[in-house]
Structure 1
Amino acid sequence: MMKVAMTIAGSDSIGGAGIQADLKTFYALGVHGTSAITAVTAQNTAAVEGAYYLPPEFVGQQIEAVAKDVPVAAVKTGMLASADIVREVARRVKLHGLDANLVVDPVLVSTSGHLLLDNDAVDVVKHELIPLALVITPNIPEAEVLSGKKIKDIENMKEAAYLLHKLGARNVLVKGGHANAVDVLFDGTEYRIYQPEVRVPGSFHGTGCTLSAAIAAELAKGGNLVTAVEKAKSYVTGCIKNHLHLGQGAFMIKH
């Protein structure tokens, strides 16, 4: 029986990140993708030009409709937009027992620099959503905001991962991105350091969404977290190698 994964995130009109990237990733990795849309954005490869937040209760209704009908094996969150949406998502995750394989990508800012999470929602993410997560996947700027720790090197990444683990996340994956391309995974005891498989110059649209969705897909299929992260990173590497330059801004990765 095909496994089911859910993405709770925003819609990306250019199709490279958000819900669209997540569903493409689920399909590519052999799981059935379901979704709860938190916001609709008007964006392209160069900028986010606008965003409309859906009512929190309707976000919750989408989660409810899926969860009461099919067995959801893994969930990832992306753009949650507002404090009230974060609270509603956390409430529904607990209500339906969706936290066993919950991947939280704490999306704060888009690649082009647009704020994707209201400032007053950061504390709600820290105290209500992160404690439910099997793993959180912040990039360096997000890890700095959430941990209060300035990150300049791998040791700082480890320190930030430790601080984020103390917030309640069972595992923390701090992504180096294109700053140093090294990722650090911490399970509360052991640090795993992942060196980059490929270095491609330029800015890429949707890598963070795709990585967290790929981790969720692998977890849905029954993999353990370490294996899921390794397979997800390999998948994203392939997407980057086969990138597309369709617009005037960041490269689009090829799912």
Structure 2
Amino acid sequence: MKANLAEVFESIQGEGLLIGTRQVFVRFSGCNLQCNFCDTVASRHLSSSCLIYLQPCSKHKVRPIKNPISSQQLLQVIADFTAPWISFTGGEPLLAGDYLSKVAQQTHSMQRKNLLETNATLPEELDMCLPYLDMISIDFKLPSATGKDLWDQHKRFLVRSSAKSCYVKVVITPETRREEVDQAVQIISSVSKDIPLILQPVTASMDDDRADIDTILNYQTRAARTLTNVRVLPQIHSCLGIP
């Protein structure tokens, strides 16, 4: 079984509840969405080779492997890294659900912990991977970012994910509307008010691209009236200048 991967590297997790932990990142190529704020645009498309970065938190030493890559090849690459967590990210990993399930089953048996980072639009594909996941990072994609109404997919995905440790992340941009955040909160609370919500200010190169902090704090205050755990967390890997 083979899949198209963009890169594999070890670094510090810069987002979510596992922020600051060392992880091996397995980035899948291909995505079913085109988000305005995407910070991994290159991974939207299939690439001819997967780049293996040999030095943690650095992209200076690299070994390319021709795509597609077999599950056994990937497991051999992962075995060379020592980080306890494996982050399956993208792109959208669940587009290769069969492959992901097979690899996650093996890394699980290797006593590694598996994190899935997903856009939460493929609930049926999640089912085959669920037994081997330790945590799920669920990225709710707002209509202002995608031009699409994905609430139904997100809710069905969250219901399935709630069987495991999970959290919801919402990227906040200047275009984010209050009613979108309220809708995300409503969906989370309908499943469990104890599922954490992370409001992530978009990582921007210019001040004009950043969401207003007072607005973000207002979103947090409103959400905290319903949910028990609402946090504002930026991407720290961007601050540290690491992948």
**Which of the five TM-score ranges fits, normalised by the shorter chain?**
0.3 to 0.5
Q: Which has the higher contact order (CA 8 A, sep 6+)?
A: 1
Structure showing the higher strand proportion among its residues: 2
Q: Which structure has the larger Rg?
A: 2
Structure 1 length normalisation: TM-score? 0.44
